Amino acid sequence: MPTEASTLREQILELTGQFYGSRWPGRSFVAGRDYVPVSGKVFDGEELINLVDASLDFHLTAGRYTAEFESRFSQIMGKKHTLLVNSGSSANLLAVAALTSPLLGERRLRPGDEVITVAAGFPTTVNPLIQHGLIPVFVDVELPTYNINTAQLDEALSPRTRAVMLAHTLGNPFDLASVKAFTDRHGLWLIEDTCDAVGSMYEGRPAGSFGDLATVSFFPAHHMTMGEGGAVLTSGARLKKIVESLRDWGRDCWCQPGTDNTCGKRFDWTKGELPAGYDHKYTYSHIGYNLKATDMQAAIGVSQLEKLEGFHAARRRNFDYLKTALKPAEEWLILPQATPRSDPSWFGFPLTVREDAPLSRNEIVRKLEEARIGTRLLFAGNLLKQPAYSGVAHRMAAPLIQTDRIMNDTFWVGIYPGLTTEMLDYTAEVLLGLLKGKEVRR
């Protein structure tokens, strides 16, 4: 028999669904008036209902929604373990920190060890390397995939090389076959930054399923969202234990919040120089953080999982539509291409302005924004030219020629599921008009 509380909960959730319909009514797109964003959250009443449902439990840290999300997301991504965290940047931090754990013995990373990566990307792929005293070794990238030039991997190798950490640029998988063969051949760790590439496939497998560790972001701009949020994925039991410890204050205990004595010997451990039987819940095996997410975030994520296949289909459809529409611009713009043997769930649509184009990248971006069409650069361009990285210890395997070209000539526009064909048509119309010297329609 329903209790008063359960009946009230049902009423609250029903009203929440009605509120969504009242608060976010649809409206038609008007070119030149309405902004065409590069990215954004796509949701409906189910996310709002789950969020309110979780809040009514008032279980503010990890709970039932977290357990459900981690289990289901592991299956989607082809990994045994998903560890939910508070952001994709935190996920990258934990992935690198995990490889410095004493529990890895001789394979642990130590200050001064080298990690191969690229400078054309988002800062938080590289920042954790610097923060742990590791030496990033930069390899150039290729156009039109915007991913690592794997021909330079052997040049990047040195006796100090211990790992490779790379992102799948704008959802386009890097050449995983070549990179994985390289890391396997030399006994190196591989971290896949998959923050922009959930749903992308390589040789029929999910991006993020190849490395020792993978990371994901659930920021509103990404393939699915929790608002803030991220995850570390691994199939290694030891790596899972290390990441979990580092995420949860560095503790040795693996009990879930609100749970005691999962191991059955809470007061029977002897660790370090602590007295025998010291409470395992307050025993620390790593110098860690608190980077957990909340169950309310996970509740949103569970709803988003139901839409994920549709999101991927929309991104692929929008990419193909825009690429066809911009085919006439190929004499002025380099259009993106998927990495061979891959099927990207594209995060954005990158474009590189050719040398003989009538307008520069900066001129095009300014005019697109004036026409209410959102643009982004390819993140940091060349990290080494950014003010924060002046004086950072690093090594270059080869001149970063294409990385500099991206810094100077590349931008991207949106293809996320919230964009309609009218928005994509307007984007293509304005861009083609600019390149042909026509006035922008307002």
In single-letter form, the type of residue at position 327 comes to K
Which residue in 67, 27, 22 sits closest to 45, CA to CA? 22
Alpha helices, H only, 38-190: 45-57, 64-77, 88-98, 123-131, 153-156, 176-186
Q: To 5 degrees, how large is the angle CA 405–CA 411–CA 413?
A: 160
Residue with tokens 């977290």, as numbered in its chain: 66
Report residue 326 as tokens: 């911009």
Distances, alpha carbon 313 to alpha carbons 195, 222, 308, 318, in Å: 18, 15, 9, 9
Beta-carbon contacts of residue 323 (< 8 Å; ≥ 6 apart): 335, 336, 349
For this structure, is 222 an active site residue? Answer: yes
Q: Identify whether the C-beta of residue 115 lies closer than 8 Å to the C-beta of residue 395.
A: no
Choose the catalytic residue: 81, 168, 222, 280: 222
Dihedral, CA atoms, 403, 202, 165, 229, nearest 10 degrees? Answer: 100
How far is the C-alpha of 41 from the C-alpha of 110, rounded, in Å?
Answer: 39
Active site residues: 222
